[in-house]
Amino acid sequence: MKFVDWELIDYQVAWDKQKEIFNHIIECKSNGQATQQHERIIFCEHPHVYTLGKSGKSQNLLISEDFLKKIDAKFYPIDRGGDITYHGPGQIVGYPILDLENHHISLKQYIFKLEEAIIATLREYQIEATRLQGATGVWLDAETKQARKICAIGVKASRFVTMHGFAFNINTNLNYFQYINPCGFIDKGVTSLQKELNYTIDIEEVKQKLKQNLYKQFGEIL
């Protein structure tokens, strides 16, 4: 399992690169070949973009195509689970492309481990985050009226191979969330590490902490 940082990358380009790795792992499985050496955990950032999961509702994008252009954003219906979310600069987007059979876990356990790595990373900044019953992702004050999401999760899996992943708000411009119902919710907020701590965060430092916490959940990352 190898760690890669694609840094700032166009969403479509990253999606195509993900699919190439994902399809190669599935092809190896089909041929009875080992897949561990092809697994990747990818970090990146995207220019402003909204993505809609296959079970999402298009009306959760609250703006027109013309307004999308005005705010320099793109929109993609994609093949992950979940509803609509936003990606942009200052956000750590993670794409673990793993063969879950190598890790002896189910898809539900995989999502739990992703959430656990984010929760552990936030704890290093003295922020206590949790899960929200009935929803994926990582939340602050989850069971209160102040519930707000700091990390969205949406994945695709086929033959126990995963793609897509998580979007962890670090120094994210949260104004872009006002143009959607994030993850389909109309009564929940969003936040970022910067907003919670009230200063600009060293995103490279967060990546290193998160990488170590993913290591604890999934094993050695080269």
Q: Is the dihedral of CA 78, 53, 4, 107 positive or negative?
A: negative
- Write the DSSP assignment of 170-212 as a string of letters: SS--GGGGGGB-GGG-SS-EE--HHHHHTS---HHHHHHHHHH
Antiparallel, parallel or unpaired: β 84-87 and 91-97: unpaired
Enter the pTM of the model: 0.95
Q: Which residues pair with 189 in a beta bridge?
A: 148
Q: Do residues 130 and 142 touch, judged by C-beta distance below 8 A?
A: yes
pLDDT for 186: 65
How far apart are the C-alpha atoms of 62 and 172, rounded to whole Å?
19
Query: Angle at Cα 91 formed by Cα 159 and Cα 108, nearest 5°?
Result: 30
Other CB atoms within 10 Å distance of the CB of residue 74: 16
One digit per residue, pLDDT tens: the chain, 222 residues? 899 999 999 999 999 999 999 999 999 999 999 999 999 999 999 999 999 998 899 999 999 999 999 999 999 999 998 889 999 999 999 999 999 999 999 999 999 999 999 999 999 999 999 999 988 899 999 989 999 999 999 999 999 999 999 999 999 999 999 999 876 676 679 999 999 999 999 999 999 999 999 999 998 655
Q: Do residues 135 and 143 touch, judged by C-beta distance below 8 A?
A: no
Amino acid at 173: N
How far apart are the C-alpha atoms of 75 and 69, rounded to whole Å?
10
Token pair, residue 137, equals: 């992702």
How far apart are the C-alpha atoms of 118 and 171, rounded to whole Å?
15
How far apart are the C-alpha atoms of 66 and 138, rounded to whole Å?
32
pLDDT for 221: 57
Residues annotated as catalytic are 183
Domains (ranges, CATH) in the chain? 2-216 (3.30.930.10)
Where are any strands of DSSP class E within the chain? 2-8, 40-45, 49-52, 74-77, 84-87, 91-97, 138-140, 148-158, 161-169, 189-190
- Backbone torsions φ then ψ of 112, nearest 5 degrees: -60, -45
